Amino acid sequence: MSDSSQNRENPLGSQPINRLLVRFAVPSIIAMLVSALYNIVDQFYIGRSVGILGNAATNVAFPLTITCTAVSLMCGIGGAANFNLSMGRGKRDEAVRYAGNAIFLLFSIGVLLCLTVRLFLRPMMVLFGATPDVLDYSLTYTGITSLGFPFLILTTGGSNLIRADGSPRFSMLCTLTGAVLNTILDPLFIFTFHMGMAGAALATIIGQIISGIMVIAYLCRFKTVKLTFKALVPSPEHCRAILSLGMAPCFNQLAMMIVQIVMNNILRYYGAQSNYGSEIPLACAGIITKVNMIFFSLVIGLSQGLQPIVSFNYGAAKYRRVRESYLKAAVIATTISTCSFLCFQLFPRQIIRIFGSGSEEYYHFAEQYFRIFLFFTFLNGIQPITANFFTSIGKAKKGIFISLTRQILFLLPLIIILPMFLGIDGVMYSAPVADLTAAALAVVFVTREMRGMKGLQGTD
């Protein structure tokens, strides 16, 4: 069978884009949404049992969750993009090697990260912004959740490979199963067994382990290719290609982690100089960050569902379908962003109350943070979709640059500089400026790319 006939028969290269987006993006969105709910569920029950200090502790631990996501996306999306590009070009043997090497990277890095956190737990928590009152809570929570890092990374990254293999629903099911278990076990361990922070952490890793086992079971029986033990042997060439295309989503997550660490320390420092104290800003920012992650999970899920469609069609030189896929995904992302913006502006107090009660100062700070920090949320769908688009077509450098614009180039300097003049309010005003400029740059880059693609001769 010729390569061209394989491309025509593959639904990624022939089915209508709308149908493909529904098939691949909807399960991916649900999976990412459920993944975000892992943290939200813990935050909900911890806020109603331990209180503000418990919420602050999960915020301090959150950079490590972001790190796990960064590694997952680097190896998972990098492996999946190379897999689909190779399949689109008809190079099935290469596709197998990319899938196998991605699996090796996911598990080995997960184990390494777990061991590192176990060895340096206390200094990490202090570095991430834990106050003396919060430190013990963060040590308990992170000490347990770190044991689940290899399974969390394998589940999140492996889900991208499962989608690339044409099974988006099973990919969603893996994440959904773990989240449902976490939701059931959280109140059981926290309230029935009175385990507090340890109970929340234990419920989390049990769900992650079950999800990881499901991913492993699928990866043993790939549909489109036969995955062999030989493919799992790391190859420098294939690993470099995986890491190259996975760097954009990875750097975006690592940038979020760096910003989160710096922001925690700035909130602690300037909060102590304000009427709020250190713990209220830390607790509120932690809740709002995780609520905002629900929105981001929708957009990231959409971008992950877009990846196999764009990668395969770009590899098959079907550039019209590539353009159509991006534009439709960008419209959907902007619609999601606008709905999130309206919720954050209209119902901040109602949202923050879900996670427990607090003083009037607590609610006042949370309302301000929602409305100011997240003011340009309606533009925030463009940047991650665009960064992942460049990764999907094999243009890693552009994807990396776009992924770093909001967090590193704009937000990080602003959250350091503005509080020097505005105090703790400077943290809030830094985000709208970063969001606006990052979205504008993303539009400029993708517009140029689309114009260049129109001049290419393809098979569409």
Backbone angles phi, psi at 156, to 5 degrees: -65, -45
Phi, psi dihedrals of residue 234, rounded to the nearest 5°? -65, 135
The confidence score (pLDDT) of residue 183 equals 87
pLDDT of residue 2: 42
User: In this predicted structure, what is the pLDDT of residue 457?
Assistant: 55
pLDDT of residue 8: 47
Which residue ranges of the chain lie beneath pLDDT 50? Answer: 1-8
What pLDDT sits at residue 1?
40
pLDDT value for 187: 92
- pLDDT (0 to 100) of residue 460: 55
